[in-house]
Amino acid sequence: MTTSYYDVIIIGTGAGGGTLSPCIRCNTCDGFPCLVDAKADADLNCVRPAEQYDNVTLITEAKVKRLHTSLSGREVIAVEAQINGEIHFFSSDIVVVACGAINSAALLLRSANEQHPNGLANSSEQVGRNFMKHQNAAMIGVSLKANLTEFQKTLAINDFYWGDADFDYPMGHVQLLGKVNADMIAQESPSVLGLSFQEKNAFEAIASHSVDWWLTTEDLPDSNNRVTLRGDSIQLNYTENNTEAYNRLVNRWTQVLKMIACGERIIPASFYFRKKLPLQGVAHQCGTCRFGEDPKTSVLDINCRTHDIDNLYVVDGSFFCSSAAVNPTLTIIANALRVGDRLIERMA
């Protein structure tokens, strides 16, 4: 067992950026790491620049098991982590949890102790609740005309974001997917493990003739949609809501594509495959430690410090009170920069 002291500990997952992008607009952008360091991800834009500072230490392959508080329960006094099978304890003036909405909530729940029997910072009983992840769909429009595009993710449509002529409520957002390939389509096939030659050819043909779309509809905060623990495992309880808006968006976008097909003859004969992302699709996870001014109804104050514990912050998608219908990343980044300023002021 070892112990170490730092001014600030940030617990999270990370991924990076140059000022002039080396992007080659390849066909493996969506869902893949970038091999030429062109993606504005956390590794390139945050972790690697931070590593340039002498007073920053990056520890990888460390599993944070729980946080320990003082006897008063008002401060975190140790971060317990498992590294190469050994338990290490780290301490600091400020602890920032940034593991993503699901794992941040799970860490707080897992750290329950005598002072915080329902989990750290959970006097409101809101930790883990109001989990949101969007209602997302992939839609593949297949045409007789080949689509030779390599880098497809170039167009986004918000015409139905606030509703439609016959629907006064927000429906959501539509954008092009990164180009779908035969392997991705095969993954959705029931017979993926033993694909016949004909099936492989069919998937190749679909992929080379498809235009691929991504649809996002907002899901609404529901306190019963939540992260809980079952032993050492994380459990997600989630019941879909706002489904009428989602169904309308999918149907409306199919209608638009068919109008293009008829009017311009761009897609002379077409099929529309739709797939709703299952519960495992949690890339847009948010909620679970919502922020607010009332400690009875929120986990974090407006600067993302927990109401219950003076030196504990949660800075990721957990603070969201609602999720809009676009990727939450830019809001997470903007909020992290804002909270960073508050931390600098506090440490000064």
| Interface with ligand SF4 (CB under 6 A) | 23-26, 28-29, 34, 36, 38-39, 151
CA distance 338 to 304: 10
Minimum CB separation of residue 277 from ligand SF4 in Å reads: 21
**Nearer to ligand SF4 (CB atom), residue 24 or residue 279:** 24
- Check if the beta carbon of residue 204 is closer than 8 Å to that of residue 190: no
For ligand SF4, the closer CB: 28 or 91: 28
Smallest distance, Å, CB 27 to ligand SF4? 8
Whole-angstrom Cα distance, residue 53 to residue 56? 6
Cα–Cα dist 87/77, whole Å: 16
Which lies closer to ligand SF4 via its Cβ, residue 30 or residue 75? 30
Residue 43 or 80: the one with the smaller Cβ distance to ligand SF4 is 43
- Measured CA angle at 69 (ends 53, 290), to 5 deg: 75
Please measure the distance between the N-terminal and C-terminal CA atoms of the chain and give it in whole angstroms: 32
The distance of closest approach from Cβ of residue 24 to ligand SF4 in the complex, given in angstroms and rounded to an integer, is: 5
Q: Which residue, 178 or 317, has its beta carbon nearer to ligand SF4? A: 178
Sequence-distant (6+) residues with CB within 8 A of 113 are: 68, 69, 73, 120
- Measure CA 115 to chain center: 31
CB nearer to ligand SF4: pick between 39 and 284? 39
Nearest by Cα to 178 from 34, 18, 325: 34
- Which residues face 11 on adjacent strands? 97
Structure tokens of 167?
A: 């629907």
For ligand SF4, the closer of residues 71 and 148 by Cβ is 148
Cα–Cα distance for residue pair 209/143, rounded to 1 Å: 5
Instruction: Give min distance, CB of 38 to ligand SF4, in A.
Output: 4
Minimum gap (Å) between residue 151 Cβ and ligand SF4: 5
Q: How far is the CB of 19 from ligand SF4 (least distance, A)?
A: 15
CB of 101 to ligand SF4, least distance (A): 25
